[in-house]
A and B are shown apart, each in its own frame.
Chain A
């Protein structure tokens, strides 16, 4: 009868992703623990195994938010908005993890907590953008309007990324960020732990997203039941 009931068992996907996460999490713990210690940076280099996966998960989260925002505006179905909203929340969590883990590593390696490196600046802006997205949702009366405004903002949030990139390329300071993937600069024995940590990051993202979507749906069903009385 409603979109909330249309998909009765998100439980299965949730369980599967939970098991995958558990397996990858164990592998992550073992591999990262036993990964070699970087000869120059020391043990602090292992932050990489948290930092980079968080970055990937955060970017993925924001991309999903924009995509499902477009779907929501186009089709007008609440379930798309539920995914967009959930994805933004989970994305902000990973983005925060990235922004917090970065400076800890930077203090140890660059000697400063923060530098205005292009990628740092972009990430900070993204973080602000999606915090604004969540605030916009919570400050807008009427969930239909909140969903519509948020979808629009999510689209603009993606549009601003290339512009900000371009601006920082033009005027920003020189890039200090290590290009681990492009230059293949990972040391011996680091590749497997890195790969697994990225996969574990995606699994964590998927699990949290499904959990969050499931929560939203349950809440919708409950509210509807209360309203019908």
Chain B
């Protein structure tokens, strides 16, 4: 099915014997913002890595903007922000972005990098090595890195972990800015209080299956917490 930013059918991933995902059916239209929730080991990160093309499904179908996931052309469509920053400590902020841009074949890279540094509020430290950055700065640079090729789909894996209150508020703000572009966001998070701010709908994953879909008014933190507790009750 084309027209969908992310489309999965019967998606399975097992690590040898252990099933991490057992049959995911998913259709995320372009421009929507979806939060992926669930306890540890539910398969959230596995799903994200499959969408990013970092690993291959054991069976089932997965496409990104109509392109088979894992194919080079599909990797071009996604940006990934994880808990790890993916930065090279000996390269400067600018060089890290230049490197990512060259790998992705971004046209007019210099101007693009300047713009991203500006947006990330890192212009003044553009020539400092990433190794000297605070966690918050590194996270901002990491977001800029993921956006360097202006991807249609942005994947975020626990972006709030390890950030203090201020930095995490700033990140949430940055993420809501991103909604203005017609970009699809898929966010894995534990932080239920942020969901309403960064997403329009939420999927709860349990034991490798989608257990529940929540949208609209139910996304506010209190009702979300009740629903989440209901869905995950009795699971480890």
Contact = CB atoms under 8 A, between A and B. Distances in A.
Instruction: Tell me if chain B binds chain A.
Output: yes
Interface of A: 4, 76, 78, 81, 142-147, 220, 223-224, 227
B174 interface: no
Contacts of B16: 78, 81, 142-144, 146-147, 220
Interface in B42-89: 55-56, 58
A227 B56 contact: no
21 contacts: A4-B17, A76-B58, A78-B14, A78-B16, A81-B16, A142-B15, A143-B16, A143-B18, A144-B14, A144-B15, A144-B16, A145-B15, A146-B16, A220-B17, A223-B17, A223-B18, A224-B17, A224-B19, A227-B17, A227-B18, A227-B19
6 closest Cβ pairs, A-B complex: A143-B16, A144-B15, A220-B17, A223-B17, A144-B16, A142-B15
A173 B193 CA distance: 74
Interface in B1-57: 14-19, 55-56
Contact of A143 (B17, B55, B58): B17
A78 B14 CA distance: 9
Given A78-B16, A143-B15, A227-B17, 13 more contacts: A4-B17, A78-B14, A78-B17, A81-B16, A143-B16, A144-B14, A144-B55, A145-B15, A146-B16, A147-B16, A223-B18, A224-B17, A227-B19
Contacts of B15: 142-145
A220 B16 CA distance: 9
Contacts of A224: 17, 19
B138 to A, nearest CB: 26
Interface of B: 14-19, 55-56, 58
Contacts of A143: 15-18
A69 to B, nearest CB: 15
B69 to A, nearest CB: 14
Contacts of A76: 56, 58
A160 B55 CA distance: 28
Contacts of A4: 17
A68 to B, nearest CB: 15
A147 B14 CA distance: 12
B185 to A, nearest CB: 28
A36 B93 CA distance: 80
B58 to A, nearest CB: 6
Tell which of B16, B19, B56 has the most Cβ of chain A within 10 Å: B16
A71 B55 CA distance: 18
Nearest to B18: A227
A223 B16 CA distance: 11
A213 to B, nearest CB: 15
B70 to A, nearest CB: 11
Contacts of A227: 17-19
A73 B23 CA distance: 22
B53 to A, nearest CB: 15
Nearest to B59: A76
Tell which of A142, A144, A224 has the most Cβ of chain B within 10 Å: A144
A147 B17 CA distance: 11
A147 B16 CA distance: 8
B9 to A, nearest CB: 17
Nearest to A78: B16
A142 to B, nearest CB: 5
B41 to A, nearest CB: 11
Contacts of A147: 16
A14 B14 CA distance: 28
A76 B15 CA distance: 11
A224 B17 CA distance: 7
Tell which of B15, B17, B56, B58 has the most Cβ of chain A within 10 Å: B17
